[in-house]
């Protein structure tokens, strides 16, 4: 099996087992995280129905989004290092259990404060997923394949958003209430949890003793290797954090995560409600909003494959900033279209297409920051802590974004919200460009 070191001449039948478990674990990271999204993206699908039943304004719904995004950010900071300590698989499965219970409890609520508290608990558990996943992938795959593998794996939250949205839309179109949107998804996640428990292993060592993730064939190492003092077993959390923060490139990734999560969170929380507010029915708004994550899948695959194959000196950021230039154009166009006309004159098809194209140009660069770039910088051992900090800071931005968008849409309309998004996308473009410059500097130093 490629790049699984075999210091003790492991038998051929054990190598076959390793191949099977690596593929099986890869599928668990994909299907399992889709399950995470089924019990996460259902909230945005429920927003139009909850507004109708309880009379909530966008600003009030934004409070649920704001507080739960902050809980998610806190969970990222805590659960990332925790995953490095207890193992990616354990924390990945624990997060599923918490999400299942929280969704059932949320469906029993009837007050805004209840919804806020329960969804904060749910998002804390959901914050366990990505760090655990990244750690498992880092244990099983070699660095040269970070872009392609994490590009494929990142389809889980893009496609998970599609599946979750379509599933919720189906429930609503069949006459289901807002409560049903929080009852049927966790039932499905129970089945996914059972599959994930039996079909995954944390690392090759759990299959065949003495087998570990192999050295890169080219000798390639994580960028942070020299900045983090390595022990025989594990890095200490303090050394990991200190070593990562010493790297200018990692600090730039933290800023980039803040900016792109700000953008993404608004789309993920508010697209169904936006489409309802400009004249679509609840079911139409939910179904059409699925185009954003669907085209995001394509953008993520393209970016991961392209940067593995063509990025010079490991500079994945160059293609990222090019895509973000296109995103900025889409967002300014949406601002102009939505803000210029009354609801009866809006070009709905063009608006939906531009929202979908925004997903294509945004979600690839967004997923790169906590996917391939994280593994490039931190490696397998520090992946949990690295993604914890990147996603944690990112979702601080996401928390601010969803509340600001809800409040702005009530006060000024959705056209002004998209104008703000266009500005944020432009700043994100600059951030990615500066990352690209940092990669070029590192390459020049390496060649000198």
Domain locations in the chain? 8-208+220-447
pLDDT in tens, 103-149: 999 999 999 999 999 999 999 999 999 888 888 887 877 766 656 67
In this prediction, residues 408-419 reach a mean pLDDT of 91
Whole-model pTM above 0.95? no
For residue 181, is pLDDT > 70? yes
Q: Supply the mean pLDDT for the chain.
A: 83
Architecture per CATH, domain 8-208+220-447, reads as Up-down Bundle (1.20)
pLDDT of amino acid 142: 72
Handedness of CA 230, 232, 235, 236 (dihedral sign): negative
Q: How much is the pLDDT for 361?
A: 95
pLDDT in tens, 54-101: 999 988 998 998 899 889 888 888 887 787 788 889 999 999 999 999
Quote the percentage of the chain above a pLDDT of 70: 83
Query: Which two tokens mark 300?
Result: 């993520």
Lowest-confidence region among 251-255, 309-313, 364-368, 436-440: 309-313
Mean pLDDT of all residues in 305-322: 80
Average pLDDT over residues 417-443: 90
- Residues 159-176 pLDDT 10s: 787 888 889 889 988 989
Identify the pLDDT of residue 145.
Answer: 65
């Amino acid at each position: 099996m490629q790049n699984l070191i075999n210091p003790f001449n492991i038998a051929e039948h054990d190598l076959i087992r390793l191949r099977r478990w690596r593929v099986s674990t890869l599928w668990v990271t994909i299907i399992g995280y889709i399950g995470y999204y089924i019990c996460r993206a259902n909230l945005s699908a429920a927003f139009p129905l909850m507004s109708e039943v309880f009379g909530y304004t966008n600003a009030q719904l934004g409070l649920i989004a704001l507080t739960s995004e902050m809980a998610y950010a806190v969970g990222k900071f805590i659960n990332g290092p925790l995953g490095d300590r207890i193992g990616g698989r354990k924390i990945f499965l624990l997060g599923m259990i918490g999400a299942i219970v929280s969704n059932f409890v949320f469906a029993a609520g009837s007050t805004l404060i209840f919804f806020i508290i329960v969804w904060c608990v749910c998002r804390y558990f959901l914050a366990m997923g990505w760090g655990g996943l990244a750690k498992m992938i880092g244990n099983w795959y070699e660095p040269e394949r970070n872009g392609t593998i994490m590009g494929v794996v990142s389809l889980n939250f893009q496609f998970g958003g599609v599946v979750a949205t379509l599933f919720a839309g189906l429930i609503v179109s069949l006459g289901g209430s807002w409560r049903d949107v929080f009852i049927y998804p966790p039932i499905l996640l129970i089945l996914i949890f059972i599959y994930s428990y039996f079909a995954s292993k944390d690392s090759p060592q759990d299959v065949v003793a003495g087998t570990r993730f192999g050295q890169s064939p080219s000798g390639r190492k994580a960028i942070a290797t020299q900045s983090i003092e390595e022990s025989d077993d594990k890095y200490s959390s303090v050394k990991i954090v200190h070593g990562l923060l010493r790297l200018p490139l990692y600090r730039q990734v933290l800023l980039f995560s803040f900016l792109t999560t700000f953008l993404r969170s608004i789309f993920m929380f508010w697209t169904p409600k936006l489409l309802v507010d400009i004249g679509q029915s609840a079911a139409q708004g939910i179904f059409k909003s699925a185009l954003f994550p669907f085209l995001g899948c394509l953008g993520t695959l393209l970016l991961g494959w392209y940067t593995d194959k063509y990025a010079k000196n490991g500079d994945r950021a160059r293609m990222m900033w090019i895509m973000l230039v296109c995103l900025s154009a889409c967002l300014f166009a949406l601002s102009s279209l939505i803000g210029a006309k009354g609801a009866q004159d809006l070009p709905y098809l063009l608006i939906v297409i531009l929202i979908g194209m925004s997903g294509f140009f945004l979600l690839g660069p967004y997923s790169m920051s906590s996917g391939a770039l994280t593994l490039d910088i931190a490696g397998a051992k520090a992946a949990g802590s690295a993604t914890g900090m990147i996603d944690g800071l990112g979702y601080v931005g996401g928390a601010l974004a969803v509340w600001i968008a809800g409040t702005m849409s009530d006060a000024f309309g959705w056209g002004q919200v998209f104008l703000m998004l266009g500005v944020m996308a432009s700043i994100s473009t600059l951030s990615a460009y500066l990352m690209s410059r940092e990669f070029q500097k590192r390459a020049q130093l390496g060649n000198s």
